Amino acid sequence: MSSHSDKNLVTLATLKKMKKDGDKFTCLTSYEATMTSKICDAGVDVVLVGDSLGMVVQGHDSTLPVTMDQLIYHLECVVKGNKGAHIMADMPFMSYATDDMGFENATRLMQAGANSVKIEGGEWISKMASMLSDRGIPICAHMGLTPQTINRIGGNFVQGRDPTKRELIINEAKSLEIAGAAMLLLECVPDSLTKEIMSELKIPVIGIGAGPSTDGQVMVIHDLLGISCLDKLPKFVKDYMKDSNSIQDALKNYVKEVKENKFPAKEHTFF
Ligand code: KIV
pLDDT tens for residues 174-233? 999 999 999 999 999 999 999 999 999 999 999 999 999 999 999 999 999 999 877 888
| 99: region left, alpha or beta (phi > 0 left; psi from -120 to 50 alpha) | alpha
142 Cα–ligand 1 center, Å: 9
Q: Name the pLDDT band for 2 (thresholds 50, 70, 90).
A: very low
Question: In a mutational test of the pocket of ligand 1, which residue from 185, 221, 224, 237 has the highest number of ligand atoms less than 8 Å from its CB?
Answer: 185
CA 137, distance to chain mean position in Å, is 16
| 229-251 tens-digit pLDDT | 778 889 999 999 999 999 999 99
Q: For residue 4, what pLDDT is reported?
A: 58
Give the number of the atom of ligand 1 that is nearest the alpha carbon of residue 27: 7
Q: Which of 172, 177, 187, 257 is catalytic?
A: 187
220 Cα–ligand 1 center, Å: 7
Contacts of 269 (CB under 8 A, 6+ apart): 191, 209, 211, 212, 235, 236
Q: For residue 199, what pLDDT is reported?
A: 98
Q: Name the pLDDT band for 1 (thresholds 50, 70, 90).
A: very low
Give the number of the atom of ligand 1 that is nearest the alpha carbon of residue 218: 7
53 Cα–ligand 1 center, Å: 9
Looking at every residue in the chain, the average pLDDT score rounds to 96
Which residue's C-alpha comes closest to atom 8 of ligand 1? Answer: 50
| Cβ of 218 below 6 Å from ligand 1 | yes
Closest to 218 (Cα-Cα) out of 142, 154, 150, 149: 142
Q: For residue 122, what pLDDT is reported?
A: 97
Q: How many Å apart are CA 88 and CA 66, to the nearest integer?
A: 16
Beta carbons of 207 and 185 less than 8 angstroms apart = yes
Note the helical H segments in the chain.
Answer: 12-21, 33-41, 53-56, 68-81, 99-111, 126-134, 150-153, 163-179, 191-200, 221-224, 247-259
Q: For residue 8, what pLDDT is reported?
A: 52
Which residue's C-alpha comes closest to atom 1 of ligand 1? Answer: 50
Q: For residue 128, what pLDDT is reported?
A: 97
Q: How many Å apart are CA 4 and CA 10, to the nearest integer?
A: 8
118 Cα–ligand 1 center, Å: 9
| 75-96 tens-digit pLDDT | 999 999 999 999 999 999 999 9
Give the number of the atom of ligand 1 that is nearest the alpha carbon of residue 90: 1
| Cβ of 47 below 6 Å from ligand 1 | no
| 9-46 tens-digit pLDDT | 999 999 999 999 999 999 999 999 999 999 999 999 99
Mean pLDDT calculated for residue range 94-102: 97
Question: In a mutational test of the pocket of ligand 1, which residue from 118, 119, 205, 219 has the highest number of ligand atoms less than 8 Å from its CB?
Answer: 118
3-state secondary structure at position 169: helix
Which phi and psi (to 5°) does residue 223 adopt? -65, -45
Q: For residue 3, what pLDDT is reported?
A: 52
244 Cα–ligand 1 center, Å: 24
Closest to 236 (Cα-Cα) out of 175, 182, 180, 191: 191
Query: How far, CA to CA in Å, does 212 sit from each of 4, 98, 116, 194, 198?
Result: 24, 34, 23, 9, 11
Q: Is 32 one of the annotated active-site residues of the chain?
A: no
Q: For residue 229, what pLDDT is reported?
A: 76
